[in-house]
Structure 1
Amino acid sequence: MSAPDRGAASLPNNINRSRVRFRAGRAADRLITYGLYALLSLIVLLPLAWVLLGSFKNPSEIFAYPTSFWPREFTWTNYGDVIRRTALPTYLFNTFIVTGFTLVLSLGFATVAAYGFSRWDFRFKDTILVLLLVLQLIPSTVNIVPYCMMMNWLHLLNTHAALIIIYTASHIPFAIWIMKGFFDTLPRSLDEAAVIDGCSMFRVFWSIILPLSLPGLSAAGFLIFLAAWGEFLIPLVLANSREVAVMSVGLFSFFGTDTTQYHYAFAASVMSTAPVIIAYLAQEYLVSGLASGAEK
């Protein structure tokens, strides 16, 4: 066989070897990627599993040595005791009140403002949007002292209203950006057709644009709910009395300087996390249902 014939015959073998090496490299990359995912998942889920399983342990078992990850005997006593013997129901009620009003007010103001930013052009529009975005970069710790002075001047310290006002003002800029992005995806021909049919601008917004933006409302609402539910520093400073304290401050009260009620803290932590998980599942169900309806 001549030299060119041998080169042509070896070409398929080289291609096959290259394919094998390429597939082996991709398999190694996938193995490393999935390994990192598994490691990160373990780092995140292990503390959550420890809290969840710890809520079913007796106090003596929590401090037993050697400690056990899995409870030797499951008990629901911690949940009943933390509801009856502590102020947990009050903390949950206060959190629902503050979070609910914050969610409604933030979405109400933000959607109207976002619709205006999306549909009309006016002077300093881009500047205002950038300023709203810059406001989100300011950490809440910087505003603690001004918040405290303002609420003291308004005689709103240790009230639900103080938290609702601050949370609403803090979340409106973020919600405006989210809702404006969703409104921008809707063609303006919808507004024009509705106006030609005799609809007012409010009717166009309420009956046409807003129902089509339910996925955006769901996403913005969940993020606002998550931020308001888990806020700790502001309510710790402005509303730390037992009558108006929210769940994050209530959980902090279980950890004392001398003793810590870990069995109560574990059970209360699980009960505090449950509404967030339910809200996430509801938001995912709503978005998936709207997406499937849109495809049909």
Structure 2
Amino acid sequence: MRRRSLGARWGLAISTALVAVFVLLPIYWMVATSFKTAANASAQPPQLFPDPVSVENYGIAFNDHGFGQYILNSLVVSIVATALVLVLGTLAGYALGRAKMRGTFTILVILLVLSVFPVIALIAPLYLMMRTIGWLNSYQALIIPYTALNLPFAIWILRNYFIGVPKEMEETARIDGASPLRTVWSVVLPMALPGVFTAGIFAFTACWTEFLMALSFNSANEFRTIPVGIALFGNAHITPFGAIFAASTVAVVPIAILVLVFKRSVVSGLTSGAIKG
């Protein structure tokens, strides 16, 4: 039994190490290549470590390709869309979690289907709609679709979390004279913050990394977001690998910070939602 237990531990350790290498190696290669010189970034055979260490690629990305504008565009679109998702998702999730009405299960099934609906099937009709109302090459061309696409999943998470909030606390607040909206804001929402953080991080990440709609709806350079901007760094003759890796490294930073700061809330929100749902 001891030998089997020791073998299982070694097997688990080796498997974990292999998975960690498989996951972290591309990230390391991206970051290391971003600090190579532009010539060494595409050298053959490739360098394992940047020698010499250079920030040349970051200068190329920001100065030659206007990467700063792409960051600004992605921040505006992602932050506004995420805020709308959280406001609407909180109200809808609370209503579905507390209201006693017929058709709740049907609504939840529809939300679950919508959350996995393929984006490519929506591109053509949405493009025609944006062109008709004059929204092509604008922030709202991405903010509104991103909000609609991420809202079902946010409602699903938040509804499952609101179910676990004790009703007695709401009843006490109402006895004290609090309005329904004040009860949600002051009593229910603070207890559901892990679910809110989870929904917000998922929505922000989806908006930050979305490519197809951003490519289709905003062709003007001043409205391009990070994924589209990076994809268009190269041309038919030159692919600036160093600048691409530098821009990709910068693009990963906000997501990494969010995950590291709110990792406990995300885990708590997902597990609580799964158990209570």
TM range (shorter): over 0.9
Does residue 85 of the first structure (1) align with residue 68 of the second (2)? no
Once residues 197 and 104 of structure 1 are traced to their aligned partners in structure 2, the CA distance between those partners, rounded to angstroms, is 30
Does residue 130 of the first structure (1) align with residue 109 of the second (2)? yes
Once residues 87 and 103 of structure 1 are traced to their aligned partners in structure 2, the CA distance between those partners, rounded to angstroms, is 25
Once residues 116 and 91 of structure 1 are traced to their aligned partners in structure 2, the CA distance between those partners, rounded to angstroms, is 37
Q: TM-score, normalised by structure 1?
A: 0.87
Alignment equivalent of 2:18, drawn from 12, 21, 39: 39
Give unpaired runs (5+ residues) of structure 2. 268-277
The residue that corresponds to 2:119 in the other structure is: 140
Does residue 57 of the first structure (1) align with residue 36 of the second (2)? yes
The residue that corresponds to 2:198 in the other structure is: 219
Once residues 233 and 283 of structure 1 are traced to their aligned partners in structure 2, the CA distance between those partners, rounded to angstroms, is 28
Residue type at the aligned position of 2:150:
H
The residue that corresponds to 1:98 in the other structure is: 77
The residue that corresponds to 1:159 in the other structure is: 138
Residue type at the aligned position of 1:67:
P
Alignment equivalent of 1:206, drawn from 180, 185, 198: 185
From the CA coordinates, give the structure whose radius of gyration is larger.
Answer: 1
Structure-to-structure mapping, 1:1-296, within 5 angstroms: 22-284=1-263
Structure 1 residues 197 and 26: CA distance shift in structure 2, 3 A: same
Equivalences, count: 269
- Deviating runs (4+, > 6 A) in structure 1? 285-288
SS in 1 for 2:46: coil
Once residues 106 and 273 of structure 1 are traced to their aligned partners in structure 2, the CA distance between those partners, rounded to angstroms, is 22
**Is contact 2:67–2:229 with CA below 8 Å preserved after alignment?**
yes
RMSD between superposed Cα atoms in Å: 1.8
Q: TM-score, normalised by structure 2?
A: 0.92
State the percentage of identical aligned residues. Answer: 35
Structure 1 residues 262 and 287: CA distance shift in structure 2, 3 A: closer
Give unpaired runs (5+ residues) of structure 1. 1-21, 289-296
1:138-177: CA deviations, max 9, x gaps?
1111111111111112211121101000000011110001
Residue type at the aligned position of 1:153:
T
CA offset at residue 236 of structure 1?
1.0
Residue type at the aligned position of 2:111:
L
CA offset at residue 286 of structure 1?
6.4
